[in-house]
Amino acid sequence: MINLDTPKKFRAFVGQANQVAAEFLRANSRKYDRAEHAYPKELDLLASLIDGMGDSGQSQGAGAAGVRRTDDGSGDTTVKNGTNLSSVLSIIEMCWGDVGLLLSMPRQGLGNSAIASVATDEQLEKFEGTWAAMAITEPGAGSDSAAIRTTAVKDGDEYVLNGEKIYVTSGDRADSVVVWATLDKDLGRAAIKSFVVPKSLPGIRVERLEHKLGIRASDTAVIVLDNCRVPAENLLGSPEIDTKQGFAGAMATFDNTRPLVAGMAVGCARAALELTRELLEDAGVVIDYDRPLSTQSHAAATFIQMEADWEAALLLTLEAAWLADNRKPNSVEASMSKAKAGRVGNEITLKCVELAGSLGYGETELLEKWSRDSKILDIFEGTQQIQQLIVARRILELSSSQLR
């Protein structure tokens, strides 16, 4: 039976994450928003602390977790609260501090989650400790990941990769990049595989860094692969092209990363709600949960409605992570959580700017920054529209060719 209260064993860890968010991430938020592309060196100490917690077995999901479907053979059917749930809970706290700085954390990239989800046991050991960015989007392939044109051609014990990837989070700072490429364009979705490409290899280069609306502390790169030769064992999962399975193997990565992004939106929106409540109460606005919204001020009624939307996003996000921990299918729930949290997260932060007036629009408070940061959370890892399309296909039991 699912219980979405914070598990007792995670409460101390969540408290620690909140403390880090308050004393470091929130404290440095404006500094690195203004210093775009400057690496937050203070993160190295924080990352070392998280690594140490992981080595000692005390991390409770501080690092990037994965969704793994294979049965361990134990036959254990007890309810588990594991690394997926604890990772989401910690990410909520950290993004309550700052989304851009969380995305800049060494060895905690979205590519690490892809490795954790898809890699074999041998690959997990091989890539342990790497900082991996994730490269999916291309100039001609955005929301439709199946339109990827980056190629991977087998040549002996290596694959030769050619193509261009855009909007690669941590693409400049990461040690390696998880690159999605096609083994055979004629076979469509089924031929798309992901490769761990170390940045030290010849043929991979950072073409430029993007200037962005939000998450400025995090670098976003354009990466070019020019006859980049990658060891064959760096192909994540099976190299076989299974036309029956289609795109499902590669897309399993998103079952993990979408709840994480949803958690980012939930954390950022909570920060905006908490500060807005303080500002409204200081201005004399009374928020009364025992009175109908129609009898309260517009500001109070709007705030209560935003809280309800936020609560729904939180519960969907926790459910998606809990299902992953208990090895239950969570693709629909992952998309639902990403769609709900991404949309209402951005709506909440923008509405908080509006309710706070000049304090919301100026740089005296962080509300304007949170509204900028939250927009990307409704876009990357699959846009709002794509998430709704995925959910509709599953509910109506239609294929991608039947419902576009």
Residues designated catalytic: 381
Q: DSSP assignment of 301-363, as one string?
A: HHHHHHHHHHHHHHHHHHHHHHHHHTT---HHHHHHHHHHHHHHHHHHHHHHHHHHTHHHHSS
Task: Specify whether the CB–CB gap between 168 and 111 falls below 8 A.
Answer: no
Asked if 161 and 203 touch (Cβ cutoff 8 Å), the reply is: yes
Instruction: Return the CA Rg of the chain.
Output: 21
CA nearest neighbour of 346 among 313, 318, 316, 321: 313
Contact present, 161 and 181 (Cβ < 8 Å): yes
Sequence-ordered list of residues with C-beta below 8 angstroms from that of 201, at least 6 positions apart, any chain: 228, 229, 230
What is the C-alpha to C-alpha distance for residues 173 and 223, in angstroms, rounded to an integer? 12
Torsion, CA 338, CA 341, CA 342, CA 346, rounded to 10: 180
The 3-class SS string of 2-62 reads CCCCCCHHHHHHHHHHHHHHHHHHHHHHHHHHHCCCCCCCHHHHHHHHHHHHHHCCCCCCC
Question: What letters, b where the CB count within 10 A reaches 16 and e where it falls short, cover 49-83?
Answer: ebbebbeeeebbbbbbbbbbeeeeeeeeeeeebbb
Q: How far apart are CA 337 and CA 88, in angstroms?
A: 12
Q: Rounded to an integer, what distance in angstroms lies between the CA atom of residue 250 and that of residue 242?
A: 11
Q: Which residues pair with 138 in a beta bridge?
A: 141
